[in-house]
Amino acid sequence: MSKITAKTKSLIFVLTLMIILSSSQIYQNSIFYETYIKQIHISYQKSFENFYKSFLNNEFDKYRPLASYFTKKEIIKELKNNNNTKIMKELSFYFSYFKSRDKFLKNVFFIDKDLKFKTSKNMLIFNENNFLRYSIYQDKITYENNAIFDVIENNKELEFVLVFGIFEKGRNLGFIEVVLDPNALLKNLQYFDGSIGFIVKNQDNIKFGGQTIDTTSDHSRILIKENSFIINNFIIKNINDEEMAKGIFLLDITSKDKFYDESILKNIIFSLIFFVLAIISLNFVFNFLISRLERSNLILNKKIDIALKKARQQDKLLIYQSKLAGTGEMIANIAHQWRQPLMQLSSILMLLEALFEKNKLTKELFYEKINEESNIINYMSGTIDDFRNFYRPDKEKESFNVMDAIVRSFAIIKSSLDANNIKFDIICKKENAKIYGYKNEFSQAILNILSNSKDAFLNSLITNKRIRVDISNINKTIKILIQDNAGGIDENIIDKIFDPYFTTKHSFQGTGIGLYMSKMIIVDNMNGTIKVCNQELDGKIGAKFEISFNDL
């Protein structure tokens, strides 16, 4: 059996790495898409709630002149004299006037203050059972608040009702009632954002596009033939807050889906190109280093018999090999540190594209997101220098504020925590706590711990997710406690979590060197201590990291 050459091994490594990175990209995009759909659904719900309020206000404004007309002196005189013929004539005139402008207007009534009769454009109605609801209006309509909205059922048909109070010097003379077809709501919504609407009562499903839609569940997204829709259920209630019907509203997001798919495709292509170029570069470096090692080994094998004379050369070779190992570790660490910032940058870009497409990208939000991206890019740029300094013996230490360094770490991961509904608290009992060491490396160590807590939440069904950081000074010792309620760490492996390359995650989620690197920074480079245990937070078990340094 032929021996696998170093070059073949390197190629296998490159291909494996490419598969892992591609799988990671696909997984990340699926998560981003779910977040994207949720954001659109929430935005659609809020947009509809605002539209519904605006619709009612517009209808009130449209028919308020009718109520105002009935407060004129000559009309009030007719109302007092119960001149129903005159009232009918006026109602008929204004009904015709408004009907020519609003096809959804069904009728207009005047109801006397004593609730004895009501007058339409062509008849008087004497029916006490019909007037029961007006006693409720009488309690709610005042001189200051002289208009209300109600939903009624008349002959098994749903009707929207606008009721205006008619007052003279603060004294109620009766009501003007405007009856509208609920389809006015659907038509206005279609003009507003193109939504397709249905108003149903006691129906479990509706037919649309040849497909049955269940009205009892609140879907966020459905597919009908080749089109995508966001669905929103809205309860239509009467003045007594009783459910009268349900509105089912569908917003076509096919174009947004296509735009999102195109954006994802561009992102994947860009990422693959970046990965391929990076892998080709690494492959070239590895081949070069392997060839150098092979030549060095050949020279050593030839001169092995002259051990004393070549002792210094062997020492130099060991040092060189150590540097190569350090370089490989540094590359792995940088890849680990860059993975999350790249995900956050991608998420911000997609959010900006979605908001821009909906014309909801404000100047303030745009610059806020630009600042977030700038911070992330500066962090990524600083990572290279920080890791390069990490392997140099001549690094300079400094005195820095613990709170500032932790806030800096939080700023990097904030958007990811927010996206996963993870609450983050910092409790500082020592306002100006300072330690002596490497500020950037310390921030990276804290970020690794926060990232592990965040990942633990992603694999659980825990509600009220929380990460808490406490900073205190006890007996001249700065203590930093980082605690979550994500379920804790298995006691069988808790002693191994600081070991290099130890991980319980999939390969595309972690390399197992994050906590190991955090321990190296805190213990080896800054003379601190770090330990971990399981402890309850908010009644739920979680991991607690305790970091200690001497106070300055």
Lowest mean pLDDT among 294-303, 333-342, 512-521: 333-342
- Read off the CATH number of the domain in which 518 is found: 3.30.565.10
Task: Give me the pLDDT at residue 218, please.
Answer: 60
pLDDT over 70 at 506, yes or no: no
The CA distance from 202 to 204, in Å, is 7
Condensed to tens digits (0 to 9), the pLDDT of residues 124-167 reads 666 655 567 788 888 888 877 888 899 988 888 889 999 998 88
pLDDT over 60 at 286, yes or no: yes
CB atoms within 10 A of CB 551: 15
Q: Considering only the C-alpha atoms of the chain, give the largest distance between any 2 of them, rounded to a whole number of Å.
A: 130
Task: Give me the pLDDT at residue 314, please.
Answer: 44
Task: Give me the pLDDT at residue 311, please.
Answer: 46
Task: Give me the pLDDT at residue 352, please.
Answer: 82
Residue with the larger pLDDT of the pair 143 and 512: 143
What is the mean predicted confidence (pLDDT) over 517-521? Answer: 85
Residue with the larger pLDDT of the pair 198 and 326: 198
Task: Give me the pLDDT at residue 363, please.
Answer: 85
Percent of the chain with pLDDT over 70: 80
Among 140, 171, 193, which residue terminates a domain?
Answer: 193
Query: Is 308 within the bounds of a domain?
Result: no
Task: Give me the pLDDT at residue 219, please.
Answer: 60
CB crowding 526-545: b at 16 or more within 10 Å, else e:
bebebebeeeebeebbbbbb
pLDDT band at 547 (very low <50, low <70, confident <90, very high): very high
Task: Give me the pLDDT at residue 336, please.
Answer: 53
Query: Is 159 within the bounds of a domain?
Result: yes
The CA distance from 148 to 155, in Å, is 22
pLDDT over 80 at 31, yes or no: no
Query: Is 318 within the bounds of a domain?
Result: no
Lowest mean pLDDT among 48-57, 146-155, 204-213, 233-242: 204-213
What is the mean predicted confidence (pLDDT) over 205-214? Answer: 72
Torsion over CA: 333, 412, 408, 508 (sign): negative
What is the mean predicted confidence (pLDDT) over 235-259? Answer: 83
pLDDT band at 541 (very low <50, low <70, confident <90, very high): very high
Number of H helices, E strands in the chain: 11, 19
Query: Is 185 within the bounds of a domain?
Result: yes
Torsion over CA: 444, 450, 453, 454 (sign): negative
Task: Give me the pLDDT at residue 549, please.
Answer: 92
Query: Is 112 within the bounds of a domain?
Result: yes
Task: Give me the pLDDT at residue 128, please.
Answer: 55
Query: Is 117 within the bounds of a domain?
Result: yes
Condensed to tens digits (0 to 9), the pLDDT of residues 439-488 reads 888 888 898 899 888 888 887 788 889 999 999 988 889 999 999 998 89
Residues in Cβ contact with 357 at an 8 Å cutoff, skipping those fewer than 6 apart: 256, 259
Among 158, 176, 193, which residue terminates a domain?
Answer: 193
- Read off the CATH number of the domain in which 104 is found: 3.30.450.20
Among 130, 164, 193, which residue terminates a domain?
Answer: 193
Task: Give me the pLDDT at residue 545, please.
Answer: 95
CA distances from 325 to 22, 24, 286, 507, 535 (A): 26, 26, 12, 21, 37
Query: Is 33 within the bounds of a domain?
Result: yes
User: Domain range holding 420?
Assistant: 397-550
Lowest mean pLDDT among 156-170, 215-229, 319-333, 493-507: 319-333
Mean of pLDDT over the chain: 78
pLDDT band at 394 (very low <50, low <70, confident <90, very high): very low
Condensed to tens digits (0 to 9), the pLDDT of residues 336-350 reads 567 778 888 888 888
What is the mean predicted confidence (pLDDT) over 57-74? Answer: 84
Domain total in the chain: 2
pLDDT band at 390 (very low <50, low <70, confident <90, very high): very low
The CA distance from 289 to 171, in Å, is 97
Task: Give me the pLDDT at residue 385, please.
Answer: 65
pLDDT band at 320 (very low <50, low <70, confident <90, very high): very low
- Range with top average pLDDT, 40-44, 163-167, 240-244, 532-536: 532-536
CA angle 23, 28, 33 (to 5 degrees): 130
Query: Is 450 within the bounds of a domain?
Result: yes
Lowest mean pLDDT among 108-117, 124-133, 294-303: 124-133
What is the mean predicted confidence (pLDDT) over 170-174? Answer: 80
